[in-house]
Structure 1
Amino acid sequence: MLKHIGNYLKSKWSIRLLFVFYLLAGFNHFINPTFYLPLIPPYLPYPEIINWISGVIEIVVAFGVLISKSRKIASFVILAMLIAFIPSHVYFIQTGSCVDDGLCVPQWIGWLRLIIIHPLLLLWAWKAGTSLK
């Protein structure tokens, strides 16, 4: 079963879904910055610039995964970006999975996001980067 999942994560449909996922996420940084800004830990300087750069990178890598010649590089950039986002996930959990005037969810969802969803996104990017399709 794991082999089938790995093969699906390399498929054309998975690559297209990865494109849509990061394209929408990237544009959302500009459309709804108030969602992201409270999630940026206060010890990081210039949260507006961090949000803007994150959005630009997500849009660029979205297009990068569509092109087979740039897919591997785009996937590695996604991996690096996801690793760079880990402090935000930890900060969100430290705040009780609730930020002022922002996202509030049960704390178990914060943990689920960090321990399950984030590694799945890393796996998805990794497998997409190994796709030759």
Structure 2
Amino acid sequence: MQDNKFLKHIWKKISIGLFVVFYGFAGVYHFISPETYLPVIPDWLGDPKMINILAGMAEIIIATLVIIPDTRKQAGYLAIAMLLAFTISHIYFIQLGHCAADVCLDPWIGWVRLVVIHPLLIYWAYRISNS
């Protein structure tokens, strides 16, 4: 029974660590390579450059807040809200014919990102918020 508790504790630490690295890197990448994100931000949302900056900052803030146990729940819920907002870009990418700027992907990739990966990221954020 003690081994099971230990494994759960280790898995929780690994999950939190991976979450921090994933969102920290994703946030920084908005600043390193904005051309990756700008084509999938619809103009009707507003200034794509500003939205990209805000998205990058949000991901960095979320990664930072997850590190602190007292703010982890809020960080998880912020991540869920952000991921729900990002759904717009995933749908827009599919509407663009799975091509944005110079990047074209097989149509199934856009759908897998929207229907499988995105919900898994939301679930991960939910689990983090309850760690």
Instruction: Give the gaps of 5 or more residues in structure 1.
Output: 1-6
1:107 aligns with 2:107: yes
Q: CA deviation at 1:100?
A: 2.5
The answer for the alignment partner of 1:125 in structure 2 is 125
The answer for the alignment partner of 1:54 in structure 2 is 55
Structure of greater relative contact order (alpha carbons < 8 Å, 6+ residues apart): 1
1:90 aligns with 2:78: no
CA distance in 2 between partners of 1:110 and 1:41 (Å) = 16
CA distance in 1 between partners of 2:56 and 2:111 (Å) = 24
* Aligned-pair Cα RMSD in Å: 1.3
CA distance in 2 between partners of 1:129 and 1:100 (Å) = 35
CA distance in 2 between partners of 1:69 and 1:100 (Å) = 41
Number of residues paired by the alignment?
123
Q: CA deviation at 1:43?
A: 1.6
Instruction: Give the gaps of 5 or more residues in structure 2.
Output: 1-7
CA distance in 1 between partners of 2:20 and 2:48 (Å) = 25
CA distance in 1 between partners of 2:43 and 2:110 (Å) = 18
TM score, norm. by length of structure 2: 0.90
Name the % identity: 49
Give structure 1 regions of 4+ aligned residues with deviation exceeding 6 angstroms.
none
Which structure has more helix as a fraction of its residues? 2
Residue by residue, what CA displacement relative to the aligned partner does 1:45-68 show, whole Å, maximum 9, x if unpaired? Answer: 110000000001100110111111
Q: CA deviation at 1:42?
A: 2.3
Higher Cα radius of gyration:
2
SS at match of 1:24: helix
